[in-house]
Structure formats: structure tokens, C-alpha cells
């Protein structure tokens, strides 16, 4: 009974979506209220309505913004090393930084996908090394030139004034009796005997005649030590003959022993000097057209002296 009444009540309820109306022989339904969207049926075992599913915004993948730190450090070292490699006084710093940059550049190639800075660092370090070598060669050559071509001063034997640039070329040689000075030594060309064959052959039985087309000449000169080394130094003058054709004939071109040979083996002390002869060869026909090339020591500049 209770169930029947309840069904009738539900049918007559205003919340019933439809009411029935007879029209002739057909039954027409007419909506009473706007339809209410129905909730999806609850799943078995759950009598409570389900909460709507939460929607999450889809995030775009982040870009790889990581940097090749090793490559950047290598590039900085390469650039700084390149700069120092171009400075003669700071070459050593460049030679320390450039290998470090090269090694770091190689490491940077394998530690990151971004290899551009590492490749640039390697290239700069290689170029910097080449430039550093060239600068080093230039510096050494300059130092060598400065060390072995120190300036020499000249003076005439009689104290007279010399022409400007005298002795600097074969066309403008110094006169006999002139002195060539370096920092520690003074060489004075006293005289030149252009016909010394007989004197040389008579000086030693082992002396042989001069080569064909040449003859012996004797150069007499004095070497004085003007330095201040208390232990003394061994003289090392260089005296050679230069032909009119520009060929040099040195003491090594003959093995003859000169009469009154100059002693360049024993030490000289401050104020000490030694004089003597040196044997050279010269062309038979025009020995007088040549000049002497004289250096006060192994590192001083060469000056030219007339032979007559």
C-alpha cells in the first residue's frame, strides 16, 4: 500500500519531467520543465557523485639553455694567451695559457653538445702558438743581431778628424793607422805589406807558397784591452782581406805562420796590449784595390781600412 501511494506521488510530483494528456487515441507527452542534464550514473559501490576530473595545462618542453662552460673558459684562455704571445716581453705567459686553452678546448668538445666555443678556442690557441713562435724567432734574431753587431767607434792615428761615415763601407775606408774600438777592445792597424811572399816563406820551413793567382800580405796591428775585468780577457780581433770583387779572404784560407806572429792566446789585463803580424792572401794583380775588414772583437761591428 505504501509503495503504491509513493509511486502515485512521484508521478504527480511537479518535478516529474512530463505529464500525460489524452488527445483522441494517442498519448502525447509535453515537457513541463526544461530538461535538466543528467549526471552520469555512479559507479558500483560509490553512492556519492564523482568530482569532475581536473585538467592540467600541457607545458611546452624547456629549451636546453645550458652553456659549454669548459669551452668558454678555453676561449678566454686562448684569447688572453694570443694577446700575450704577441708581446715580446710576455711570451712566457702566452705559452702557458695557449696549451691550457688547447687542452680545455678538446675537453669541451666531448662534455657538451654546444661545441662552437670549444672549436673556436682550439683554433685561436693553434694560431696563437704559431704567432708566438714567429715573435720568439724575431726576438731571438734581434737579440743575436744586437749582441754580435755592437757599435764600434773609430779614430785616426794622428788625431785628425775623419769624414762622416768613414769605415762604414768599402768605398769609404779608414786610413792606415786608424783605431777601431768596442766596449772592451781597441785595434789599431799599423801597416800592411802587400808583397810579403819572401818574408812569409822565410818565417817557417813548413810554410807553402800562396795559392795560384794569390800572394801573401802581412797586416801589422795592435790590440789593447780597455775593459775593466780584473780577471782579464783573451783578445779576439777579426782581421780579413776583402777583394775589389767583394770576396773575403780570412786567416782560415791559409795555414802559413807569420813572422812576428801576433799573440791572441794569452790574456790581457786593463791597459795591456800586444802587437804583431797576421798573414793573409790577396790577388796578385790588384791587391792594392782591396780593403781590410776589421772587428775589435767577435761581437762588434765591422769597419773597413785601406791597405795603403
Q: How confident is the model at residue 4 (pLDDT cuts 50, 70, 90)?
A: very low
Query: In this structure, what CATH number is given to the domain that contains residue 213?
Result: 2.60.40.1240
How far apart are alpha carbons 133 and 209 in whole angstroms? 51
Q: Contact at 8 Å (CB) between 272 and 213?
A: no
Rounded mean pLDDT of 101-108? 90
Q: Same structural domain for residues 158 and 176?
A: yes
Q: What is the pLDDT of residues 42-60, one digit of tens each?
A: 555 555 555 555 555 555 5
Judged on CB neighbours under 10 Å (0-12, 13-18, 19+), 274 is: middle
What does the pLDDT read at residue 140? 84
216 lies in some domain: yes
Q: Contact at 8 Å (CB) between 151 and 127?
A: no
The boundaries of the domain holding residue 171 are 153-306
Please name which of 145, 187, 149, 141 lies closest in space to residue 300, comparing C-alpha atoms: 149
- Bridge partners, residue 300, by sequence: 150
Three-state DSSP at 141 gives: helix
Instruction: Say which residue, 160 or 3, is predicted with more confidence.
Output: 160
Q: Same structural domain for residues 110 and 194?
A: no
120 lies in some domain: yes
Q: Same structural domain for residues 24 and 120?
A: no
Rounded mean pLDDT of 275-290? 95
Q: Same structural domain for residues 158 and 296?
A: yes
How many C-beta atoms surround the C-beta of residue 214 within 10 A? 21
Q: What is the pLDDT of residues 130-155, one digit of tens each?
A: 998 998 888 888 777 766 666 667 77
What does the pLDDT read at residue 71? 86
User: Does residue 194 have a pLDDT over 60?
Assistant: yes
How many C-beta atoms surround the C-beta of residue 121 within 10 A? 29
* Percent of the residues in the chain that have a pLDDT greater than 90, as a whole number: 48
What does the pLDDT read at residue 179? 92
What does the pLDDT read at residue 272? 95
* Mean of pLDDT over the chain: 81
Q: Count of domains in the chain? A: 3
202 lies in some domain: yes
| Alpha-carbon torsion (105, 106, 112, 113), positive or negative | positive
Q: Same structural domain for residues 158 and 295?
A: yes
How far apart are alpha carbons 235 and 269 in whole angstroms? 10
Using the 3D structure, point to which of 148, 173, 208 is the last residue of a domain. Answer: 148
Q: How confident is the model at residue 19 (pLDDT cuts 50, 70, 90)?
A: very low
| Alpha-carbon torsion (98, 101, 105, 107), positive or negative | positive
Q: Same structural domain for residues 299 and 161?
A: yes
22-26, 102-106, 208-212 — which is least confidently predicted?
22-26
User: Does residue 234 have a pLDDT over 70?
Assistant: yes
Using the 3D structure, point to which of 81, 115, 148 is the last residue of a domain. Answer: 148
6-15, 92-101, 224-233, 267-276 — which is least confidently predicted?
6-15
User: Does residue 118 have a pLDDT over 80?
Assistant: yes
How far apart are alpha carbons 230 and 79 in whole angstroms? 50
User: Does residue 1 have a pLDDT over 50?
Assistant: no
Q: How confident is the model at residue 28 (pLDDT cuts 50, 70, 90)?
A: very low
How far apart are alpha carbons 90 and 82 in whole angstroms? 11
User: Does residue 72 have a pLDDT over 80?
Assistant: yes
How far apart are alpha carbons 91 and 80 in whole angstroms? 11
What does the pLDDT read at residue 143? 77
7-11, 94-98, 299-303 — which is least confidently predicted?
7-11
User: Does residue 3 have a pLDDT over 90?
Assistant: no
Amino acid at each position: 500500500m505504501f509503495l503504491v501511494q509513493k509511486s502515485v506521488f512521484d508521478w504527480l510530483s511537479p518535478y516529474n519531467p512530463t505529464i500525460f494528456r489524452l488527445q483522441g487515441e494517442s498519448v502525447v507527452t509535453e515537457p513541463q520543465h526544461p530538461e535538466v542534464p543528467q549526471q552520469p550514473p555512479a559507479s558500483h559501490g560509490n553512492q556519492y557523485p564523482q568530482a569532475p576530473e581536473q585538467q592540467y595545462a600541457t607545458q611546452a618542453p624547456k629549451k636546453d639553455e645550458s652553456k659549454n662552460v669548459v669551452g668558454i673558459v678555453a676561449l678566454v684562455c686562448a684569447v688572453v694567451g694570443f694577446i700575450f704571445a704577441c708581446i715580446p716581453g710576455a711570451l712566457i705567459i702566452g705559452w702557458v695559457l695557449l696549451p691550457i686553452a688547447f687542452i680545455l678546448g678538446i675537453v669541451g668538445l666531448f662534455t657538451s653538445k654546444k661545441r662552437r666555443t670549444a672549436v673556436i678556442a682550439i683554433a685561436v690557441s693553434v694560431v696563437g702558438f704559431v704567432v708566438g713562435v714567429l715573435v720568439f724567432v724575431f726576438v731571438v734574431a734581434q737579440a743575436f743581431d744586437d749582441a754580435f753587431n755592437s757599435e764600434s767607434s773609430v779614430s785616426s792615428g794622428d788625431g785628425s778628424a775623419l769624414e762622416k761615415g768613414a769605415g762604414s763601407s768599402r768605398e769609404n775606408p779608414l786610413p792606415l793607422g786608424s783605431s777601431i774600438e768596442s766596449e772592451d777592445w781597441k785595434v789599431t792597424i799599423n801597416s800592411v805589406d802587400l808583397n810579403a811572399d819572401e818574408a812569409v816563406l822565410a818565417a817557417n820551413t813548413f810554410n807553402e807558397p800562396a795559392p795560384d793567382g794569390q800572394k801573401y800580405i802581412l797586416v801589422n796591428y795592435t790590440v789593447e784591452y780597455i775593459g775593466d775585468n780584473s780577471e782579464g780577457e783573451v783578445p779576439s780581433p777579426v782581421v780579413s782581406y776583402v777583394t775589389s770583387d767583394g770576396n773575403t779572404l780570412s786567416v782560415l784560407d791559409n795555414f802559413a805562420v807569420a813572422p812576428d806572429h801576433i799573440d791572441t792566446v794569452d790574456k790581457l789585463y786593463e791597459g795591456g796590449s800586444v802587437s804583431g803580424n797576421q798573414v793573409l792572401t790577396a790577388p796578385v794583380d790588384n791587391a792594392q784595390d782591396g780593403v781590410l775588414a776589421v772587428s775589435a772583437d767577435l761581437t762588434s761591428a765591422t769597419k773597413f781600412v785601406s791597405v795603403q
